Amino acid sequence: MILIIMLFTTASFLVLGVSVWVLIKEIFTVHVPPPIRQRVKFHILHYFFQLAITLGNVLEKMKICSMPHFFRFLQDLLVPKNNFGVLVKKMHFGTIPVRLFQPKATSSGPRRGIIFYHGGGCVFGSLDSYHNTCSYLARETDSVLLAVGYRKLPDHHHPTAYHDCLNATIHFLKELKTYGVDPARVVVSGESIGAVAAAIIAQVLLGRKDLPQFRAQVLINPAVQAVNFQLPSYQQYSDAPFLSRKFVMTCTCKYLAIDLSWMDAMLKGTFIPPDKWKKYEKWISSDNIPQRFKSHGPQPEFPGPFNESAYLETNHVFSLETSPLLADDEIIAQLPETFLVSSEYDVLRDDTLLYKKRLEDQGVPVTWCHLEDGFHGCMVLFDMYALSFPCSQKAMSSTVSFIKGI
């Protein structure tokens, strides 16, 4: 009994100490950009986000559980589920967990179909934490929506998540009639790393004669390349709340099974061979970013002096299964109509701008929604009442409007 009391007391002091330390850090080091309204609410949300990560890291160091598992446990536990009046079925395609969202109202014919891959950098996010996003999209667009629960870190690395999304998508596309979906109106979509999966799968399934072709792709705050980490947004918002440049690179390295010791080489671009930079510069250089998004002043040298050892350890970032922005023009030109969402205060902002330019240069119709007061992950807060932001509502309403229009 005494031992239990001692353990409980120790744990309580540990949690209290971590909470105070994170709070002090939040007050004195976190900068909320002025255009973001409801700054106190933003700080509160970010504080609990950082607290969950910090406690997860402590538990991981104590070998109790991993930070991703702890964070996802809290996320799934604390996010209330709302079906928004749609029928929800939890299923598996083989071993892949999926969730089907279907409007309750009868339909005179096949409905539009949406395939959705959630965000979270393969660290956070789940079918539960994106349940409300998916059910709301299904209801508001009168669509049948399939959400894919791909495997994540720390147990699974690239290309597991991509293969899960691809296999579930192929299975769904072959069974559209079963779910009452119109084969001519299927949208592939995703948020953050899920948007990367959507962009990759849209390319991979081009020309498959045995499958319906996508009518459109919806990419919300995608990270479509892992080569240039010195784009203007990576410099301007390197310490942005919720998604710093260091955290992006850490997730990228862990997902791609790259040792973290190569992060500096990736940041400086010394892993890029001169011939590859010559080939890809026209697509991934900061020169392709509109002037209004750039900062004044000297820019860092990029790429730095070539380091062959760094290239040999990181060269899979040039794969189209990692960086769909690097696809040849012939592939880009065949992609379907596209809806893009970017957030101003997001290190990934410029990935969207680069992909927008590539698509438009090849004649692909693009609708673009830029959230001037947006931050990474804001869309998932659209229904969180006291925790929602104007940018959350705009991201969701713009996405709904686009999908209803196709």
- The single residue of 376, 383, 392, 398 carrying the catalytic annotation is 376
Is residue 329 annotated as part of the catalytic site, yes or no?
no
Predicted local confidence at residue 36, as pLDDT: 85
Q: pTM score, two decimals?
A: 0.95
- 179 near 150, Cβ under 8 Å? no
The CATH number of residue 167's host domain is 3.40.50.1820
The answer to whether residues 206 and 231 belong to one domain is yes
The answer to whether residues 26 and 118 belong to one domain is no
pLDDT-derived band at 6, boundaries 50, 70, 90: low
Predicted local confidence at residue 291, as pLDDT: 94
pLDDT-derived band at 10, boundaries 50, 70, 90: low
Predicted local confidence at residue 5, as pLDDT: 67
- % of the chain at pLDDT higher than 70: 97
- The single residue of 182, 346, 350, 351 carrying the catalytic annotation is 346
Is residue 376 annotated as part of the catalytic site, yes or no?
yes
The answer to whether residues 25 and 169 belong to one domain is no
Query: pLDDT digit string (tens) for 335-380?
Result: 999 999 999 999 999 999 999 999 999 999 999 999 999 999 999 9
Predicted local confidence at residue 78, as pLDDT: 85
Predicted local confidence at residue 282, as pLDDT: 96
Mean local confidence (pLDDT), 160-164: 97
Is residue 346 annotated as part of the catalytic site, yes or no?
yes
Mean pLDDT of all residues in the chain? 94
Predicted local confidence at residue 80, as pLDDT: 87
Predicted local confidence at residue 332, as pLDDT: 98
The answer to whether residues 140 and 36 belong to one domain is no
**Does residue 4 belong to any structural domain of this protein?**
no
Query: pLDDT digit string (tens) for 104-115?
Result: 988 889 999 999
The b/e string for 66-87 (b: 16+ C-beta within 10 A; e otherwise) is bbbbbbbebbeeebeeebbebe
Q: Range of 25's domain?
A: 13-65
The answer to whether residues 48 and 97 belong to one domain is no
The answer to whether residues 331 and 223 belong to one domain is yes
Q: Among the listed ranges 19-23, 65-69, 82-86, 376-380, which one has the minimum average pLDDT value? A: 19-23
How far is 179 from 177, CA to CA, in rounded Å? Answer: 5
Phi, psi of 271 (to 5 degrees): -85, 0
How far is 392 from 397, CA to CA, in rounded Å? Answer: 9
Query: pLDDT digit string (tens) for 88-139?
Result: 999 999 999 999 999 998 888 999 999 999 999 999 999 999 999 999 999 9
Q: Among the listed ranges 30-39, 335-344, 364-373, 381-390, which one has the minimum average pLDDT value? A: 30-39
The secondary element (H helix, E strand) that includes residue 138 is helix 131-141
- The single residue of 126, 189, 192, 398 carrying the catalytic annotation is 192
Predicted local confidence at residue 107, as pLDDT: 85
**Does residue 180 belong to any structural domain of this protein?**
yes
Phi, psi of 90 (to 5 degrees): -90, 125
- % of the chain at pLDDT higher than 90: 85
How far is 123 from 67, CA to CA, in rounded Å? Answer: 9
Identify the CA nearest to 203 among candidates 30, 327, 387. 327
Predicted local confidence at residue 27, as pLDDT: 86
Predicted local confidence at residue 35, as pLDDT: 86
Instruction: List strand residue ranges (DSSP E) for 118-244, in order.
Output: 143-148, 181-191, 216-220
**Does residue 337 belong to any structural domain of this protein?**
yes
**Does residue 133 belong to any structural domain of this protein?**
yes
